[in-house]
Structures are given as structure tokens and as C-alpha cells.
């Protein structure tokens, strides 16, 4: 009995409100139509529906379809630049993340003469140090993983169907994680040389792989050649002289002992990204950092702490990347829904067309873990459909999806541990019991199948495919267990990789949900006539399913088991903690 409907629309940045009257059509029921003209400038719109009854009273439509007396919810509409081009190679392919110091070493390095006081473990299997030294964790213990070591394992990575190598920072730094950059234009000597990096890119390209570098542009190390607090470098740094060439890069409250730093960590002085000389050095100069490493063979940059980089800084990086290498890819580290992210009281514009091509999909990881650890598949669907609705299609299909990174505990440990130790000493030596590891491996098989079946680039943190365990940093950064891998798990990841590489529907197909309730989740991917259906049962009970199927036979791509179809209906019984990928 509604006589009129209104679409109430709020433009996020211009704060102008639009009201569109939608007249009723027809005599049966209440059918309304109308046209909304969105702003020409990429923006966010928030909209809601208000209906008016014959008696003049009004109600608002809620998310669940019910009507309410007040405006309880607005929906988001992302207005993005549809002419912006996103390279498709990243999202269609498979990414492998390497923490360079811990992947593979070609020789035992000599740390003498290098920035920072470095300890090198002679035994590759040693545990990383984690206890504070003089009250702080310095991360100065190294294992000597290097670029030549990565080169030696490219054939192995090819067997996983990897197409993108994402390397944590490789530039000269005092710490093993190298997020405290000391020299942006030099490879850390423990990793090798610029020539080694060029060789890595060349050899990777021969195997159909590209290299993504980690750009840490929000801060440097305190002992970098730019800040030079320890006086390691001969040129005057900002901490040595207020007239240093690099002094405008930093923000001193009281020179030289009080300055802005990343999250208050004194060894990571924050830079002023608006300083013209800094922006020229990193981005716009003829041989800027961004340009230099693209010319050396890199194909992509991942921006560390993108939340803390100004919008126009990111825009400049993308513009220069397009100039230098048109098919290069820009990825941002964002832990939330990046379409409506607010950082430092500013709504960010990562995905509107001028900044990043894609983002790290932490929401996927969280939703997957919640589901696999006993949650409702409907919640996974809702979380991922919200991301799909909010992201431009190119960004949704170019997300970096993962189960773990260098900043999270190992996925096998998370999925298997029953009672995690509360203290760090306990977590340092923690190993899953046989029962926990069995459960973790069962869940990991489901998790990996979901990862490889979802739109975006499935990303493997080095060693997850080998069954590595570990809690938070540095326990998640142990050395790759060459010769002691879980070979059955490695073969499973290889099979998933071959399947992903062979099927266009998994690389770029539309996604629909055939079932999402309790422990059951069924995804359907379709591209053209090709269809792939992934059916998961994350519960401890068997699950009966009936799915539509257009042909007379369905085959599990992982086991070659075949299922007959009757009357275009496929009847399945999924055992507890099992998965089928049907083609």
C-alpha cells in the first residue's frame, strides 16, 4: 500500500543530499523505478529508501528486507573511474610471498662492514631470537637467505604455478626484516647485488613469473644514510646536521633527540612525504627509487602501511609507474575494507581509480578463519559479498588473498592449536600435538581450496605449503625446512596451482554462492561456458547437498572421483572436514 518512494542519497565528500521521487507503476503491488545520476568525480555515495503509505506515514527499508520507522541503515555505492586500467596478470595468477632472510641461502654470509651489528646463525635450522636486548628487540639475527638462493628455487616455485614473487624488503637495512630502510638504491649486501636482482627478474620471467617489491616509504631506519644517527655513512644525515640535504625529510620536535617516528619506535623515524626533495627522490625524479627498480626488472610495488601515505603520494607513484612500465601493478597494505577506510580522520581513496590497483585482502583471511574454526558459512558469504559490492570489479579481482603473512601467525598453527600458550616463552617453543596437527592439516586443505577458488590472487606465505608452524613474529619467520617438507601437503598445493592455472573460471570467472549455511559453503565460478564449483564442509558432521548441474557427470578435479547427475541435479554427501572441486 505505498504511494511513493524516495531514494535518499548522501555524497560522501561534497556532503550534498539528493532526493529522487520514484512514481508507482502498475496496479498490482508497489513497483517503483527511477534513475540516479552519480557525480562525475569518483566518490562514495550512501543511500537509503523511504516509502510513504497512503495515510502519509513513512518507513525505511532495512538490510533484512523489513521496514522501520527510522533510517537505520544506508548502503554504500562506490563511484569509481571506469576508464582507469588495471593490469589483469596479478589477480589471475598465483603469488608466493618470500621473507628473503629465511627462504634459502646460497652461502654463509660474512656480516663485517655492513650497517648494524649483525649476528649470523650458522645452523639454518636454528630458532630466531626473540628476547629483548637492552630493553628492545633489535631483529639483528640473520640466517643469510639471499637472492641467489631464491634463484636456485625458481623451478620449485614454478611447480607451484607461481606467477608473482612478492619479496619483503630487500634494500640495505640493519634488521633482518629490512623495514628500516638504510639505502633505497642498494640491495642489502647480505642478499646480494643489483646484478643478482636483475638476474632474479630475468630468470623469473623465463618461467612466467614477475617480481613485486615492498616499498617502505613512510619511514626509514634511524641508522639509514638519510638519518644516520649512528654515523655509519660518511655523508651528513638529518640527525647529524640541521643543514643536511635530508633534514627536510624528517620532522624534529627538538633536534636531534626528539622527532616523529612510526608508532613511536625511535629506530623508525617518520618521513615527511610532502617534502619536495623526498618525493623527487622516491617517485618523480629521473632515476627515482620507483623508476630505478622497475627498470631493473621489477613489475610491481606493494606499499607498506598505505594508510599512512598521503593520497597524492600514492597517486604520484601510480602515475610514474604507468609512465615507466604501463603494465606494472600497485598493491596497498590495508587491513580493513579499503573502499571506505578512514585513516587519521580522512576517508581514503585507494580504489577510486587514481591510486592502488588492488589491496591486501585481510577481510578475506579473517572471514575464512572464522568460518573454518566453527563459524557460519553465511557470515563468510556476507563479509565477502560486502567487499564485492563495495570494491570496483577490477579491484575485487585484483585483491591479494591469503591465509597468512609475515605479520600473522602461521595458518597451520592457527587452525590446529587448541589451547595457545599465553606467554611468549611458551609460544616460542610451541609445536602442535599429533592430534592438533592432524586437525590443522584437515582444515588447511579446506582453507587452501577456498583460497585458490576465490576471485583475486591466491597468495602463499613461504613454507605454508610445506607445513610450517609458528605463532607471531618472529616465530612465523623461521627458515624454510628444505628436505623436511610435508611432501603430501606440497603436492596438494601443486595440484591446486595447476588447477588454478588451467581454468579461466577460477582466474576471472563470476562468483555465485550455491550454498552457505553452518559448515557448508559452495562457490560457483563461471567464465564463458566453463564452470568450476568448490564445495566445502568445515563441520565435524557429514553434509548432504543437492546442487544444480547441467551435464550428466561431475568430476572432482583433485581426486578424479566422478559423480553421476540425474535430472540435472547433483546429489552429494560431503564427509566432515572435506572439500570437492567439481568440474
**Sign of the four-CA dihedral 95, 98, 104, 106:** positive
Alpha-helix runs per DSSP H in 375-486: 377-390, 393-396, 411-416, 424-428, 434-453
β pairing state of 210-215 and 300-303: parallel
Query: How far is the C-alpha of 184 from the C-alpha of 84, rounded, in Å?
Result: 29
Evaluate whether 249 touches 238 at the Cβ level (below 8 Å).
yes
Output the CA–CA distances (angstroms, integers) from residue 345 to 308, 341, 509, in the order listed.
Answer: 11, 10, 37
Q: How far is CA 339 from the centre of its chain?
A: 14
| Start-to-end C-alpha separation, the chain | 47
Helix axes 434-453, 362-372, angle to 10 degrees: 130
How many beta carbons lie within 10 A of that of residue 186, not counting itself? 16
Contacts of 337 (CB under 8 A, 6+ apart): 363, 386, 387, 390
Q: How many helices (H) and strands (E) does the chain have?
A: 15, 31
Output the CA–CA distances (angstroms, integers) from residue 50 to 66, 72, 73, 206, in the order listed.
Answer: 12, 11, 11, 58
How many beta carbons lie within 10 A of that of residue 49, not counting itself? 19
Q: Give catalytic residues, as residue numbers.
A: 304, 333
Cβ-based burial of 545 (10 A; exposed 0-12, middle 13-18, buried ≥19): middle
371's enclosing H/E stretch is helix 362-372
Query: How far is the C-alpha of 45 from the C-alpha of 48, rounded, in Å?
Result: 10
Query: How far is the C-alpha of 315 from the C-alpha of 63, rounded, in Å?
Result: 35
Amino acid at each position: 500500500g505505498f504511494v511513493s518512494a524516495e531514494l535518499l542519497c548522501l555524497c560522501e565528500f561534497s556532503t550534498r543530499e539528493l532526493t529522487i521521487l520514484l512514481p508507482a507503476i502498475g496496479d498490482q503491488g508497489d513497483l517503483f523505478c527511477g534513475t540516479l545520476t552519480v557525480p562525475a568525480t569518483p566518490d562514495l555515495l550512501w543511500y537509503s529508501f523511504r516509502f510513504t503509505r497512503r495515510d502519509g506515514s513513512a518507513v525505511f527499508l532495512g538490510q533484512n528486507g523489513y521496514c522501520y520507522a527510522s533510517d537505520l541503515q544506508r548502503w554504500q555505492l562506490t563511484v569509481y573511474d571506469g576508464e582507469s586500467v588495471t593490469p589483469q596478470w596479478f589477480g589471475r595468477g598465483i603469488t608466493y610471498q618470500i621473507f628473503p632472510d629465511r627462504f634459502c641461502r646460497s652461502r654463509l654470509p660474512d656480516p663485517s662492514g655492513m650497517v648494524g651489528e649483525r649476528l649470523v646463525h650458522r645452523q639454518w635450522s636454528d630458532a630466531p631470537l626473540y628476547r629483548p636486548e637492552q630493553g628492545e628487540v633489535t631483529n639483528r639475527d640473520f640466517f643469510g637467505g639471499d637472492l641467489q638462493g631464491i634463484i636456485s628455487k625458481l623451478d620449485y616455485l614454478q611447480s607451484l604455478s607461481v606467477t608473482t614473487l612478492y619479496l619483503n624488503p630487500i634494500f640495505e637495512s640493519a634488521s633482518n626484516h629490512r623495514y628500516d630502510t638504510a639505502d633505497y638504491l642498494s640491495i642489502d649486501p647480505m642478499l646480494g647485488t643489483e646484478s643478482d636482482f636483475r638476474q632474479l627478474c630475468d630468470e623469473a620471467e623465463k618461467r612466467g613469473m614477475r617480481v613485486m617489491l615492498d616499498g617502505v616509504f613512510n619511514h626509514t631506519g634511524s641508522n639509514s644514510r638519510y638519518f644516520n644517527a649512528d654515523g655509519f655513512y660518511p655523508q651528513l644525515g638529518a640527525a647529524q646536521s640541521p643543514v643536511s640535504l635530508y633534514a627536510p625529510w624528517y620532522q624534529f620536535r627538538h633536534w636531534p633527540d626528539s622527532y616523529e617516528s612510526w608508532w613511536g619506535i625511535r629506530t623508525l623515524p617518520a618521513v615527511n612525504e610532502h617534502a619536495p626533495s623526498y618525493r623527487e627522490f622516491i617517485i618523480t625524479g629521473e632515476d627515482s627509487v620507483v623508476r630505478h627498480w622497475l627498470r631493473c626488472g621489477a613489475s610491481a610495488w606493494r606499499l607498506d602501511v598505505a594508510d599512512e601515505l598521503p593520497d597524492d603520494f600514492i597517486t604520484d607513484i601510480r602515475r610514474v609507474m604507468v609512465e615507466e612500465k604501463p603494465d606494472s601493478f600497485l598493491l596497498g597494505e590495508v587491513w580493513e575494507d579499503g573502499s571506505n577506510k578512514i585513516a587519521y580522520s580522512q576517508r581514503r581513496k585507494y580504489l577510486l581509480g587514481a591510486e592502488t590497483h588492488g589491496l591486501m585482502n585481510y577481510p578475506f583471511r579473517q572471514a575464512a578463519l572464522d568460518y573454518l574454526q566453527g563459524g557460519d558459512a553465511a557470515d563468510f558469504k556476507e563479509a565477502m559479498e560486502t567487499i564485492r559490492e563495495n570494491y570496483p570489479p577490477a579491484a575485487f579481482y585484483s585483491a591479494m588473498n591469503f591465509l597468512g603473512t609475515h605479520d600473522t601467525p602461521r595458518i597451520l598453527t592457527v587452525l590446529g592449536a587448541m589451547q595457545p600458550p599465553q606467554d611468549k616463552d611458551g609460544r616460542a617453543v610451541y609445536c602442535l600435538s599429533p592430534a592438533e596437527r592432524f586437525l590443522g592439516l584437515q582444515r588447511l586443505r579446506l582453507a587452501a581450496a577456498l583460497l585458490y577458488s576465490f576471485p583475486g590472487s591466491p597468495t602463499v606465505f613461504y613454507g605454508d605449503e610445506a607445513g610450517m608452524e609458528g605463532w607471531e613474529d618472529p616465530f612465523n619467520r623461521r627458515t624454510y625446512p628444505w628436505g623436511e617438507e610435508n611432501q603430501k601437503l606440497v603436492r596438494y598445493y601443486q595440484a591446486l596451482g595447476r588447477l588454478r592455472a588451467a581454468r579461466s573460471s577460477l582466474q576471472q570467472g563470476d562468483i555465485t554462492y550455491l550454498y552457505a549455511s553452518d559448515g557448508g559453503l559452495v562457490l560457483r565460478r563461471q567464465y564463458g561456458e566453463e564452470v568450476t564449483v568448490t564445495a566445502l564442509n568445515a563441520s565435524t558432521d557429514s553434509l548432504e547437498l543437492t546442487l544444480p548441474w547441467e551435464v550428466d557427470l561431475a568430476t572432482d578435479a583433485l581426486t578424479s572421483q566422478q559423480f553421476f547427475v540425474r535430472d540435472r541435479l547433483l546429489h552429494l554427501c560431503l564427509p566432515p572436514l572435506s572439500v570437492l572441486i567439481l568440474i
